[in-house]
Amino acid sequence: MRARAVHAVAIWLALFAGVCLGQAGAAERLSQTSSPAVSDLQAQVKATAAKIIPAVVNIATTMLVRDQAFSDEGLPFGLFPESAPRRQVGQGSGVVVSADGYIITNNHVIADAVAVEVLLADRRQFKGRVVATDPKTDVAVVKIQATGLPTVPWGDSTELTVGDFVLAIGNPMGLNQTVTFGIVSAVGRADVGVADYEDFIQVDAPINPGNSGGALVNVKGELVGINTAIASTTGGSEGVGFAIPINMARAAMQSLLKTGRVVRGFLGASTQDVTPLLGKLFKLPDVKGAIITDLMAKGSAEKAGLKRGDVVVRFDGKDVLDAGRLRNWIAGAPIGSRHRLDVIRDGKPAQVELAVQEAPRERARRAAAPKAATPGHPLGGLMVDEITPAVAGQLGLTSTGGVVVAGVEEGSLAEVAGLMTGDVILEINRHPVTSLPLFQRLVEPIKNKELTLLLVNRQGTFMYVPIEGE
């Protein structure tokens, strides 16, 4: 029995090498030496590719961008005079999910596009119309005026497990219809820095530039993910690719088309992951869970009786591995649904029942410091913004901690102290600033005439900036 198992493993590895690495003659050698099961799988892969390729499209976008004209006038970050806009083109992929022309893709493929062109596998070309976007999950929907289109059937991404074979089909580097083959390396990946809500499928099937928005399918030809990103130090594929689970993408698409926005559940609390040291301090049996760090007044968590310092370890009997997993489960739960949360409170187990509320409508992220209208307030006239992964990349930051200065009113005390647009505020009076709401809470008690100390990161240089109110 053991010899038979070893022989089977050798066959699977040989098939994987032949399909993924493209070694010359590998398929022919396999056909001569492999078992019927291997031949059946190879036939299935070929049939799946042939079935899915017609429903994967190329999306070409045109954007208008402005280059900043740098000068010697010493203007601060973000205030350089802009040049005339120029046209810039982009490439991506999409998946036809309805015969009447609805296509699902990534938001980042069509973001800021002023024109969208869709090229079908049969070389027909259509003008595309962006009908809905959800940057928080990096999902977008494009519509073309066509009927009778080939489609990809929906799959169930919750059934994916590590080791499952998958095909990634898209349009990398302008090459029409490219197929790569591999396995699922992990599920539930978060903290990738692509979107606000991340529950990625990690695959080793190469996802090359231009493959974003393409189809990730299982060997049965069912759509299980939307290819999104690669982790790479060179810009090319290095065997670590990510796809949005199709259950998340489909739910976002359906909500967008029905209501024009994505309706999500909301915990009403801030959370953080458990580290080994925190696990020891909170007397946890395992290094997993989501620690409640703050509660929103009248939010789901507060109404359920959760408290700051509680560690949520199970959600409806499922282990909560980290804060991102809990957030995703609640975001996908129906509004009003009730769920059992197992928590560790002061080292002892407890249970609460949580009724899911709808997440607040999207609001502008930029905010003025409290009391900004008061001339004598140390931070009066200061505008700050939260640091998203995109902003962090633009500023060359390694984390999204702190808040970025989005504007400084001329003549304000903040300007006199030397604060500039683009500065990142990391501390207020020696208290760390980790988010925009925390910044506002730390500023609120500061009074006029009070001396305030900021820790600022200015293009990689850290400095303390004292500001004295009047």
Q: Is 398 helix (H, G, I), strand (E, B) or coil?
A: coil
Number of Cβ within 10 Å of residue 325's Cβ equals: 21
Reference 331, options 303, 305, 323; nearest CA is 323
Q: List the catalytic residue out of 34, 212, 237, 412.
A: 212
d(CA 320, CA 343): 10
- Amino acid (one-letter) located at 346: D
d(CA 149, CA 44): 23
Give yes or no: 108 in active site: yes
Reference 409, options 454, 438, 441, 368; nearest CA is 368
Reference 95, options 241, 236, 243, 278; nearest CA is 243
d(CA 191, CA 112): 24
d(CA 56, CA 48): 13
Distance of CA 157 to the CA centre of its chain: 17
Residue positions counted in the chain: 470
Give yes or no: 191 in active site: no
Reference 172, options 214, 205, 119; nearest CA is 214
Q: List the catalytic residue out of 34, 93, 134, 138.
A: 138
Retrieve residue 41's tokens.
């799988």
- Amino acid (one-letter) located at 319: D
Q: Is 358 helix (H, G, I), strand (E, B) or coil?
A: strand
Sign for the CA dihedral angle at 30, 32, 37, 43 comes to positive
List, in sequence order, every residue forming a beta bridge with 353; answer none if it has no partner.
340
Q: List the catalytic residue out of 34, 93, 108, 377.
A: 108
Give yes or no: 138 in active site: yes
Reference 101, options 70, 127, 72, 80; nearest CA is 127
Active site members: 108, 138, 212
